[in-house]
Structure 1
Amino acid sequence: MRRVIWVPITSSSSIVAAPTPTLTRITRAVAPRLLSTTSASAPAARWEGGVSLVQGASRGIGLEFAKQLLEKNEKGQVVATCRNPDGATGLLDLKIKFGDRLNILQLDLTNEKTIEASAKSVRENYGSMNLLINASGILSIPNVMQPETTLSKVEKSALMLAYEVNAAGPILVIKHMWPLLKAGGGMGTKRDVAVVANLSARVGSIGDNHLGGWHAYRSSKTALNQLTKTVSVEFGRKKDPITCILLHPGTVDTDLSRPFQRNLPKEKLFTKEFSVQKLLNIINNAKSSDNGKFFAWDGQEIPW
């Protein structure tokens, strides 16, 4: 099964219209979490606690991101996307627990129309966004692709699939969420900027590559790094209130890494809870000066 996560709306928040002054007073009295309201073309909606979107949230690290965002920020709104929301039992359990604070959308990284539809839904329901986490990724699929231990095992189909999901897909998500991130900035959060956090991997670093192999996965993460860096340069040049960073979560005990854990020292295999806690600490403390940087789970910068 492809390890990617993307989702018709199973639930949604009320659509917010631009208020009159009287309606604004009523809204603030009745719903304190909404500091001001808007459509995407007017001043952006400002939600106390912020609006976060986790792309790739049906399992593994993505699901843990959604869980911790809901648990640690009692006023924050979370949009979780995956390919098949009806089968995302972990997200459905969170929906029961957190109700309207969690909105589940269908999004398939290989289908740009679903990305565009998700952006439209977020715009209609919230008007802005303060955090985008691209958590999806693929490493191996039985009978389809496996990490290559030698050049002779490289196949074009695996290279293209890895690039589509691990690199092109996340950048297309940023493309369609960009206006929402600009509208949101850091409003409603303790940051002064919105954050885009793309989950990369240390093996994507060219400067840190001493072992070779894993051609499709390694090169697709390298492509993600370059695309993210390029996006960050544009954000900086246009003075958008967005910081775009790359994160290496370490080797985490998930379905993605499980087939390759045999020779890994126990102390180097992290739980999802530990890794996401560390990554959220980096995200929550991100500043405009961090734009375009590549961080490991412990906050150390990784060479390109």
Structure 2
Amino acid sequence: MMLHRLSQLTMAIPYLRTAIKASYPSFTSSAFRSEGTVSMVQGASRGIGLQFVKQLLDKDKKGHVVATCRDPNGSKGLLDLQNKFGERLSILPLDLTIESTIQESASSIREKYGFLNLLINASGILSIPDIMQPETTLSKVQKSSMMLAYEVNAVGPILVTKHMWPLLKLGGACGLGKEFAIVANLSARVGSIGDNHLGGWHSYRSSKTALNQLTKTVSVEFARKKDPIICILLHPGTVDTDLSKPFQRNVAEGKLFTKEFSVKKLLDIIEGAKKCDNGKFFAWDGQEIPW
């Protein structure tokens, strides 16, 4: 009788494995292929996002980075980094305005790595020639500009967080340097209601304020569910990028940062983050910004 039951159990093992993989797709050996961290940078084709990819690859010699953008083939910077770092860099197409591309990226990351330790949402939109410009007065506010700013600056990053959530939970539990995974969303000081003394820039300000509230709300949920993930918001300062270039004339001397400087400061904050920082909003110098 005992031998018969053992035989039945042995025969059932392959079916049990299949059932587990079907129910938990990330429960595979691929989840443990990387000896270093696995980071994702969303909005990585240029500017701050591209610099995040470069510095992450430089800092962690065993780490892997997943870089996403709308048109990977159109980013010479990413392609150059891939030639330099080889298989340590994966480049995936992701359009924040098309949720199916976010889902597809999550599936690709799950299949290749099985987890994420760090998610950086670096994308942002401020102006597009002949389409949207920061409003200097209420009379210039347009519905189309506001909706586009909200879609890219607030809704998109939260949808990315939503679809990467299962991978971040596994990344927070795998013990690669920290006991939690990190979501770092790039916001802006102008998104602070308490710090708003100048007005203007209605669409950009309010979309970043929305991102702040959404990120804070997600951080509360992760904590309540005891998920090993923390969420922080980061203000990079005024950085010399295509986004800020049309508006650099009025930047005070010494306050226009290089991409290299700003990203190094932001990575210092990310690397030093503690559980008690969950849901907080930090400037590039580590100072907390009021909501």
TM over 0.5: yes
Residue 45 of structure 1 corresponds to which residue in structure 2?
A: 31
Q: In 2, distance between residues paired with 1:228 and 1:141?
A: 25
Q: Looking at secondary structure, tell me which structure has more helix per residue.
A: 2
Does residue 65 (structure 1) correspond to residue 52 (structure 2)? The answer is yes
Residues 144, 251 of structure 1: alpha-carbon distance in 2 compared, 3 angstrom cutoff: same
Give matches, 1:167-246, under 5 Å: 167-185=154-172, 187=174, 189-246=176-233
Q: Quick check: 1:251 aligned with 2:238?
A: yes
* Structure 2 CA distance for aligned equivalents of residues 267 and 49 of structure 1: 36
SS class of match (2:267): helix
Contact 1:50 1:188 in 2 (8 A): no
Q: Deviations over 1:219-263 (max 9, x none)?
A: 000000000000000000000000100000000000000000002
Which of 20, 40, 56 is equivalent to 2:43? 56
Query: Which residue does 2:111 correspond to in 1?
Result: 124
Distance 2:142 2:81 in 1: 39
How far apart in 2 are the matches of 1:222 and 1:48?
A: 37
Does 2:137 correspond to 1:150? Answer: yes
Paired residue for 2:251, among 240, 248, 264?
Answer: 264
Report the secondary structure of 1:262's partner residue. Answer: helix
In the superposition, the TM-score normalised over structure 1's length comes to 0.86
Higher relative contact order (Cα pairs below 8 Å, separated by 6+ residues): 1
User: Which residues of structure 1 form unaligned runs of 5+?
Assistant: 1-37
Cα pair 1:275 1:297 within 8 Å, conserved: yes
The secondary structure found in structure 1 opposite 2:56 is helix
Separation in structure 1 between the aligned mates of residue 42 and residue 237 of structure 2, nearest angstrom: 19
TM-score by length of 2: 0.90
The structural deviation recorded for 1:188 is 5.1
Q: Deviations over 1:101-159 (max 9, x none)?
A: 00000000000000000000000000000000000000000000000000000000000
Task: Report the Cα offset of residue 45 of structure 1.
Answer: 1.8
C-alpha distance 159-221 of structure 1, shift in aligned 2 (>3 A): same
8 Å contact from structure 1 (residues 192, 287) kept in 2: no
Find the aligned partners of 1:56 and 1:302 in 2 and give their Cα distance.
Answer: 24
Give the 3-state SS of the residue equivalent to 2:250 in structure 1. Answer: coil
Using the alignment, how far apart are the partners of 1:170 and 1:43 within structure 2? 29
* Aligned twin of 1:137: 124
- Contact kept, 8 Å, 2:30 with 2:112, in 1: the verdict is no
Instruction: Point out the structure with max Rg over C-alpha.
Output: 2
Name the residue aligned to 1:76: 63
Return the letter of the residue paired with 1:127: G
- Find the aligned partners of 1:199 and 1:265 in 2 and give their Cα distance: 22
Tell me the distance in 1 between the aligned counterparts of 2:165 and 2:46.
25
Question: What code does the residue aligned with 2:38 have?
Answer: V
Distance in 1 separating the partners of 2:231 and 2:67? 19
After TM superposition, the structure 1 = structure 2 runs for residues 89-108 of structure 1, keeping only pairs within 5 Å, are 89-108=76-95
SS of the residue corresponding to residue 80 of structure 1 reads strand
Describe the SS at the equivalent of 1:197: strand
| 8 Å Cα contact 2:30-2:111 kept in structure 1 | no
Is the 1:130–1:186 contact (alpha carbons within 8 Å) kept by the matching residues of 2? no
Stretches of structure 2 that go unaligned for 5 or more consecutive residues are: 1-23
How far did 1:288 drift? 1.3
* Aligned-pair Cα RMSD in Å: 1.5
Matches of 1:42 and 1:301, distance apart in 2: 40
**Alpha-carbon distance between aligned partners in 1 of 2:186 and 2:278, rounded to the nearest angstrom:** 15
- Change in CA separation of 1:282 and 1:152 when aligned onto 2, cut-off 3 Å: same
Structure 1 CA distance for aligned equivalents of residues 193 and 29 of structure 2: 42
**Identity over aligned residues, as a percent?**
76
Aligned to 1:295: 282
